[in-house]
Amino acid sequence: MKSVAIAIGLCLLAGGCASVIKGSTQSIAISTPPTTEATCQLSSGQGNWMVVSPGVATVDKSKEDIQARCTKPGWGDAVATIPSNFEGWTVGNILLGGVIGLGVDAATGAINNYPHTFQIPMTPLYGAMSVAPPVAYAGALPYTASPSVPTPPNP
């Protein structure tokens, strides 16, 4: 109960509860299945961030979605949009921090949240791969006559 009272007090002093409790930055774990070690550029109006998959990027929160582009030699470029979601519980700031508290949270992006993990699927470019795709054989390999064994004549 004492920790709740302290949190409420901090919210009133800081002007924005979500800014105090959740902060204005967030970590997003990025992966690029089925491959790894792709370079991903994340960007929004808040800034640009680079991450190598699988990896974690710490981004500034905003109401804006984040645009992502991943590249890797031998793989097609992949693009995706990481959505920004409004956190409904922050509306309670009006009770604790008033309209000013809600305004502070909106300005810092603290009332928004991104997914904690996000996958950006990539597709290999077979023409650029150093290993050819496997070849399937149906049945036995074709017979070839050895030079030391005579082949019977065809009638």
Q: Do residues 71 and 60 touch, judged by C-beta distance below 8 A?
A: no
For the cut 50, the answer to whether the pLDDT of residue 49 exceeds it is yes
**Structural domain includes residue 136:** no
**Structural domain includes residue 154:** no
**Structural domain includes residue 94:** yes
User: What's the pLDDT tens digit per position in 50-71?
Assistant: 999 999 999 998 889 999 999 9
**Structural domain includes residue 22:** yes
**Structural domain includes residue 151:** no
**Structural domain includes residue 144:** no
User: What's the pLDDT tens digit per position in 96-116?
Assistant: 555 445 454 544 445 788 999
E strands within 10-131? 25-31, 39-44, 47-52, 55-60, 66-72, 75-82, 85-86, 112-113, 117-119
Mean residue pLDDT across the chain: 72
**How many domains are there within the chain?**
1
What would the mean pLDDT of 43-50 be, rounded to a whole number? Answer: 95
Range of the domain at 89: 2-123
**Structural domain includes residue 114:** yes
